[in-house]
Structure 1
Amino acid sequence: MASKYFQELRVYQLAEKLADEIWQIVNDWDIFAKNTIGTQIVRSADSIGANIAEGVGRGSFQDNKIFIRIARGSLNETQHWLRRAYTRKLLTVEQIDTLRLMINDLAPQLNSYLKSIGNNVEK
């Protein structure tokens, strides 16, 4: 398994940045929005980075690949909640544009990271 700490991975740093941006946005919502869609979107966004970290810590390439796939699922879930939040007028066009740029950077990084893990062979 790679000796690199998960915090040094660009893909993890992008996931962290996205989760922190979403946290800042949701923090300004009213209590009903925070307790419903806000909780869901923060959890799904936080789950992306958490799964990257857990995969690195599992100690095998096979386990890491599983957790990166889960991270991709959490990214898709986050996109679902962003769509719901925008439709419900909780997000501005500017916020969506900012988040879209972050997601457009993170999604291919997750795929590249998964592919790079797949090229490693355990001994």
Structure 2
Amino acid sequence: MSNRLEDLEIYTLSETFADEIWFIVATWDYFTKDTVGKQLTRAADSISANIAEGFGRYHYKENKNFCYFSRGSLIETKSWIKKSYTRNLITEDQYQTLISKLETVHIKLNAYIKFIGKMSND
């Protein structure tokens, strides 16, 4: 396993995803940003933030726990994206694209959690 967080694919994918959310929310009006926007942005940012915090712990069990927090944030992000679509804040194309990217992050996060579990058994 690399010693650099930036070499971790799940981290860079989740960072890129969070940036995409940020730039969408930045275009919304004040009320929308202040309500749904802040929640959505925080949840999306939390995915990569928890991966980073776990990576920095250098203990497999702690790393895995932070990845579980990350997965919780991922599911929360999915919920806010759904609300954003239902409330006509994003288009159907944006919704489908974001959900598809989030599903990819979810699959790779689960694989990373499984990998960490194998490392802790060594």
Which category describes the TM-score, using the shorter chain as reference length?
A: over 0.9
Q: How does 1:24-63 map to 2 (within 5 A)?
A: 24-63=23-62
1:105 deviates by 1.0
Report the Cα distance in structure 1 between the residues aligned to 2:120 and 2:65, rounded to whole angstroms: 15
Task: State the partner residue of 2:89.
Answer: 90
1:43 deviates by 0.3
1:4 deviates by 2.6
Task: State the partner residue of 1:119.
Answer: 118
The code of the aligned residue for 1:27 comes to A
Report the Cα distance in structure 2 between the residues aligned to 1:102 and 1:39, rounded to whole angstroms: 20
Which structure is higher in RCO with an 8 Å CA cutoff and minimum separation 6? 1
Residue range with higher mean Cα deviation, 97-106 or 84-93 = 97-106
The code of the aligned residue for 1:17 comes to T
In the alignment, structure 1 segments of 5+ residues that lack a partner are none
Task: State the partner residue of 2:63.
Answer: 64
What is the TM-score when the length of structure 2 is the normalising length?
0.95
Kindly tell me the number of residue pairs found equivalent between the two proteins. 122
Report the Cα distance in structure 2 between the residues aligned to 1:10 and 1:109, rounded to whole angstroms: 8
Q: Name the SS of the counterpart of 1:120 in structure 2.
A: helix
1:3 deviates by 4.1
The code of the aligned residue for 2:87 comes to R
What is the TM-score when the length of structure 1 is the normalising length?
0.94
Segments ≥4 residues shifted beyond 6 Å? none
In the alignment, structure 2 segments of 5+ residues that lack a partner are none
* 1:70-105 deviation line (CA, Å, top 9, x unaligned): 000000000011111111110101111221221121
Report the Cα distance in structure 2 between the residues aligned to 1:7 and 1:43, rounded to whole angstroms: 21
